[in-house]
A and B are shown apart, each in its own frame.
Chain A
Amino acid sequence: GAVVSQHPSRVICKSGTSVKIECRSLDFQATTMFWYRQFPKKSLMLMATSNEGSKATYEQGVEKDKFLINHASLTLSTLTVTSAHPEDSSFYICSANEQGSGSPLHFGNGTRLTVT
């Protein structure tokens, strides 16, 4: 089946630094990828939709200058958390549709970010 790879799985960084998270579709091309954030015991909150070759679409309340998204190829999207603060500590997870809009999402294994 389709595989989405996310890296790193865990990262610890200091306040004020930036962290880049990569999301790759390994055996299919994804023109669209989705970035979610999950708080403890809460649902997956959609942060933004990453569009290959164009700007990402951010959900209301998500700072686009804080969470930079780049989707430079059909198999790679990156999320950069800039000037990280402890409140950015969370579980970030990416996903993509293999068969286009409406088909089930394939998720990466997520990245646990801890900002100290």
Chain B
Amino acid sequence: DQQVKQNSPSLSVQEGRISILNCDYTNSMFDYFLWYKKYPAEGPTFLISISSIKDKNEDGRFTVFLNKSAKHLSLHIVPSQPGDSAVYFCAAYNAGKSTFGDGTTLTVKP
């Protein structure tokens, strides 16, 4: 049973437009949710997080929204840039462990 799901394996957007990456989870005990970005042949790097007691966190072009009742979070990137092209992993944290989704490959076209 996969506790963190990213149902879209890929997403393609035009430069300057908004990218919306989605993530669903099943465990209501998760304390934090995090987004990581991964380029080929590199380890993931932390992008932005949100506590389970919040519903929005913004950092520059990146905003994460959390809907606890729906057990859903999303990452908004606006405006999208070609350098944002990467694999984005959603992760949920509880009891000392982080559980990852399968990732969404974002391609931003110039």
- Which residues of A are interface residues toward B (Cβ below 8 A)? 4, 6, 9, 32, 34, 36, 41-46, 49, 93, 95, 101-102, 104-110
Contact = CB atoms under 8 A, between A and B. Distances in A.
Interface stretch (B11-19, B64-72, B76-84, B91-99): B91-99
Interface of B: 2, 4, 9, 31-32, 34, 36, 41-46, 49, 89, 91, 93, 96-103
Contacts of B32: 102
B43 A95 contact: yes
A41 B97 contact: no
Contact of B43 (A32, A49, A93, A104): A93
A21 B21 CA distance: 33
Contacts of A101: 96
Contacts, number: 55
A109 B49 CA distance: 21
A37 B103 CA distance: 14
A36 B99 CA distance: 10
B89 A110 contact: no
A45 B98 CA distance: 10
Contacts of A4: 43
A107 B9 contact: no
Contacts of B34: 104-105
